[in-house]
């Protein structure tokens, strides 16, 4: 059965059109009808009125949700629970993200991710390992005691995981992994992203030359840009690599966000939530390892005030960009097509014939109104 959906505007991943109609058959997009094209006979139209129909949002940095973190005790069911929580928040495809942990927990999470892939958990696009191969000088909320350089055993395990998963994003610091190790990870199919690093611009450029294609939460937990020491920020802004950014007005000042938008151009900057366990809940706090994280006024912090992830959804990040005057089509691409492209999810983040029928209805100010995944409404 073919169903039709229409709102005042439709974003297909690249272009924003007026009065286009989305046709859905089963779990896939059947067609996009422009305003002048009539509906096929017998197809019932769901007219959503004002606002925008857009692809389901894609979030490549999701540490937790629905009251749980990805970590010790992980299994396919817990991953499914995190995916379901974020689907309700508009992100129909995510990379559950493990922050720095022990080798045993990392292995457990990788095994759980492979099991989730085999079980075809809805919304699961792969795994993001943020650490442990970082720089303790830029640990942020990561436990410095667990941060360590990459060894041969780590490299072999990561290569194996990259071959077993639909996508594996690895955040590492050039100080903790050599260009040869980065190149090997890329050859195995991993997407290497630089982050939590105090590296020089030269070291970052060497990592990019080895195959690193992205930077994790731009501006945060990295060497900053100055006149004679560009650091990782300067290298990221200048290089033709992708960068995730947390657009919550807390992690990145609006002036810095505008700078990144100008420097990276329309196809190199994407949104991430960096969501934690509290996403989709009204919890006031949670624990990260044995440390208490407080939730207060849009911030998640350790006892010393260190930011520990973000308290924002992708639709809220889109609304923040909208208030800053970012063009609507660019903002939407930053939460749909661009992150999907980075991890090779060819049928996600777009609304074209054959793509998955994952889509959202957004208000004119880009606030979330409704979500569909695989053609079905998400409650």
As annotated, the active-site residues are 274
**Count, residues in the chain:** 379
Helix, strand, coil abundance in the chain, percent, nearest 5: 30, 25, 45
Read off the tokens for 51.
């606002």
Closest-CA residue to 119 (of 55, 154, 166): 166
Query: In the block, which residue shows the tokens 């896939």?
Result: 28
Q: Sign of the C-alpha dihedral, residues 291, 294, 299, 304?
A: negative
Beta bridge mates, 236: none
Q: What residues pair up with 98 in beta bridges, in sequence order?
A: 129
Please report, for residues 67, 76, 104, the alpha-carbon distance to residue 109 in angstroms, rounded to integers and kept in the order given.
17, 9, 9
Under DSSP, the state recorded for 158 is: H
**Cβ(374)–Cβ(27) under 8 Å?**
yes
Dihedrals phi, psi of 234, to nearest 5 degrees: -60, -40
């Amino acid at each position: 059965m073919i169903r039709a959906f229409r709102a005042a505007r439709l974003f297909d991943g690249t272009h924003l059109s007026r009065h286009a109609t989305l046709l859905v058959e089963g779990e896939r997009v059947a067609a996009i009808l422009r305003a002048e094209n009539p509906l096929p006979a017998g197809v019932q139209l769901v007219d959503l009125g004002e606002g925008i129909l857009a692809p389901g949002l894609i979030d490549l940095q999701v540490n937790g949700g629905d009251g749980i973190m990805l970590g010790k005790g992980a299994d396919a069911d817990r991953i499914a629970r995190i995916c379901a929580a974020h689907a309700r928040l508009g992100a129909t495809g995510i990379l559950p993200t493990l922050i720095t942990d022990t080798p045993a927990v990392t292995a457990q999470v990788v095994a759980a991710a492979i099991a989730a892939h085999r079980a075809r958990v809805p919304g699961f696009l792969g795994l993001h390992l943020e650490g442990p191969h970082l720089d303790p000088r830029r640990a942020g909320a990561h436990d410095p005691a667990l941060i360590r350089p990459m060894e041969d055993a780590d490299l072999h395990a990561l290569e194996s995981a990259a071959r077993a998963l639909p996508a594996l994003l690895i955040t590492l610091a050039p100080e903790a992994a050599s260009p040869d190790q980065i190149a090997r990870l890329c050859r195995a199919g991993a997407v290497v992203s630089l982050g939590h690093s105090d590296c020089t611009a030269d070291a970052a450029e060497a990592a990019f030359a080895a195959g690193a294609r992205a930077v994790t939460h731009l501006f945060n937990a990295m060497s900053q840009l100055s006149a004679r020491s560009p650091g990782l920020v300067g290298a990221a802004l200048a290089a033709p690599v992708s960068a995730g950014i947390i657009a919550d007005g807390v992690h990145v000042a609006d002036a810095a966000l505008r700078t990144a938008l100008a420097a990276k151009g329309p196809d190199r900057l994407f949104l991430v939530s960096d969501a934690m366990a509290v996403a989709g809940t009204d919890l006031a706090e949670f624990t990260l390892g044995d440390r208490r994280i407080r939730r207060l006024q849009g911030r998640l912090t350790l006892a010393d005030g260190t930011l520990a992830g973000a308290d924002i959804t992708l639709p809220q990040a889109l609304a923040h960009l909208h208030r800053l005057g970012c063009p609507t089509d660019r903002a939407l691409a930053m939460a749909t097509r661009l992150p999907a492209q980075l991890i090779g999810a060819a049928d996600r983040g777009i609304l074209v014939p054959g793509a998955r029928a994952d889509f959202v209805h957004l208000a004119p100010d880009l606030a979330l109104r409704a979500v569909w995944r695989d053609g079905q409404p998400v409650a």
